Each structure stands twice: as C-alpha cells, then as structure tokens.
Amino acid sequence: QAHLVESGGGNVQTGDSLKLSCAASGRYFTAYAMAWFRQAPGKEREFVGTISWSTGTTYYGDSLKGRFTISRENAKNTVYLHADDLQPEDSRIYYCAASIHCCPRSPAEYGHWGQGTQVAVSS
C-alpha cells in the first residue's frame, strides 16, 4: 500500500525553526485531508493541525496556531509543517497522517500514517 514519509526533523536549539515534510510514497491513494500530530513518550498523540487537500483550508490545535503552519504542494503530493521559535516542550516525534474526509482532529480517524520524524529542542 502507499505510505507517507516524513522528513526534516533533527536536533535544534531553542528559538530555531524547522520545516518538516510529508510526502506520499509508493502506490497512489486518495486523501482529502492530511494532518500533523506529535507525541512524546508516555503521552497521548497530540493534534497539531490539518489541511484540506482541495481547498488549502487549515485547522490547528488550540494553542499551536502562530508557531506552526501547515501548507501543501499539490504537484509533489507533499504537506509541510513549518515550526518556528521552537521550545523544549516541542520535542516530540512528529507524524503525518492522511484521511479520506476533511478534516478530523482525532488520530483514530486517520487511516494512513508516516513513521514519524524526531524533533529535539535543546535549551
């Protein structure tokens, strides 16, 4: 089956920025929305934001809009997460996911997931 591949994570310092990428790989599959989640060990997976593939409309978690911005590049079947002014509490594994409908916030409603990319923010 087609799958998603994240990239762009790494070790950064407080205040740095990163651009994470998520691209469909393998056999094509239809997705109406793609989303970003993040998770720390022992904690629940947290909704970061999602984007409607057709319209580009974005929806964000309650406290994350402003430092985190989602965009898409249709020709590359790729979604980006721009993370600015990173803080130690942003240290998470960041996952992308795809849904056949727009635009759920629950991880249970996403049927396709990437493997995750690690972001580690040091003071």
Measured CA distances, 84 to 3, 16, 28, 57, 103 (Å): 27, 6, 31, 20, 24
Looking at per-residue confidence, does 89 or 75 come out higher? Answer: 89
Query: What is the per-residue pLDDT across 93-120, written as a single tens digit (0 to 9) for each?
Result: 999 999 988 999 999 999 999 999 999 9
Query: What is the per-residue pLDDT across 30-60, written as a single tens digit (0 to 9) for each?
Result: 678 999 999 999 999 999 999 998 899 999 9
Q: Is the pLDDT of residue 28 over 60?
A: no
